[in-house]
Amino acid sequence: MAAHDLFSPIDAYETGRLPVDELHTLYWEQSGNPAGQPVVFLHGGPGAGASPDHRRFFDPQAYRIIIFDQRGAGRSTPLGETRANTTQDLVADMELLRERLGVERWHLFGGSWGSTLALAYAQAHPERVSALLLRGIFLCRHSEVTWFLYGMRTYFPEVWERFAGFVPPAERDDLLQAYHRRLMDPDPRVHLPAARAWSTYEGACSTLMPSPETVAAFGEDNMALGLARIEAHYFVNRIFLPEGALLERAERLRDVPGAIVQGRYDTVCPPTSAYDLHRAWPTASFRIIPDAGHSAMEPGIRRALVEATERYKHYR
């Protein structure tokens, strides 16, 4: 395997559905080596869901690769459901899945919102975490949400103009509330166009070089609805945690090893958040990729993440 490549595509050897309450049922799968080091992949968004390519960050001979779609996302049901959908719920779901699969300790691998959820889980259950492998850090502070809604126009003015232009001028001073109202509307003629506008905005800002394929994927109906509706739901509710809580609780990670990988030109989750986390959690390695944006599939990000999973694959 060349250093810059993902591992070859593989199939899941087991899939299942896990009811976590009366409303939500999660999709989960396992691939790789059933006797290998357990690692759980935490997708972004929130609400984006996982894909088969996400198995490819891990050596299938060394890792027991666990992937699941979070509440309201991907193949979990019901799609786009925001009721009973909080950070605390997702952390509890991970514990339920860990117990269901008989895992004692596992690596957590997550980028963007996946890094947020990984931090929240690791701070709640540090004894269950062997290592944290994180990318594109998002701490959901007020400044980060404001940057997403308004600041990205600094680098993507024409993309932001389309995003903001979706709502009437009188509502553009509060884009979050304007979109949230439309995304929560039960009529698909209202919520689907809003979801596509929100999701393609994020997709268009996620790569260093233009990627029509990324934008098209973000515009697909299921992806757009899960991502936009649940993301707006979490933003409105400030991820159900006090402002700055993930940094303030970073001392709980003092005995957890890890790696932070960050694109220098990540405009969705700017490097300042990754640097703030590194300062609060200095035992983690910190690597800035000089020629990358936000997406995990950027060549430099991809290479660094595979190198991190290789470095930690025998660590228990």
The residues annotated with a catalytic role in the active site are: 112, 266, 294
- The sign one gets for the Cα dihedral 30, 32, 38, 44 is negative
- When computed from its CA atoms, the radius of gyration of the chain, rounded to whole angstroms, is 18
Q: Can you tell me the distance from the alpha carbon of 183 to that of 72, in angstroms, rounded to the nearest whole number?
A: 14
User: If DSSP codes are grouped into helix, strand and coil, which group holds residue 38?
Assistant: strand
Q: Can you tell me the distance from the alpha carbon of 142 to that of 236, in angstroms, rounded to the nearest whole number?
A: 10
Q: Can you tell me the distance from the alpha carbon of 99 to that of 138, in angstroms, rounded to the nearest whole number?
A: 27
- The sign one gets for the Cα dihedral 120, 123, 128, 131 is positive
In the chain, the N- to C-terminal Cα span, in Å, equals 24
DSSP state of 240: G
Q: Can you tell me the distance from the alpha carbon of 45 to that of 231, in angstroms, rounded to the nearest whole number?
A: 6
Please name the residue that has the structure tokens 């009366």: 22
298: number of Cβ within 10 Å:
25
205: Cβ contacts below 8 Å, ≥ 6 apart: 152, 155, 156, 159, 267, 268, 293, 294
Q: In what order do the strands lie in the sheet with 129-137?
A: 14-19, 25-32, 63-68, 37-42, 106-112, 129-137, 258-263, 285-289
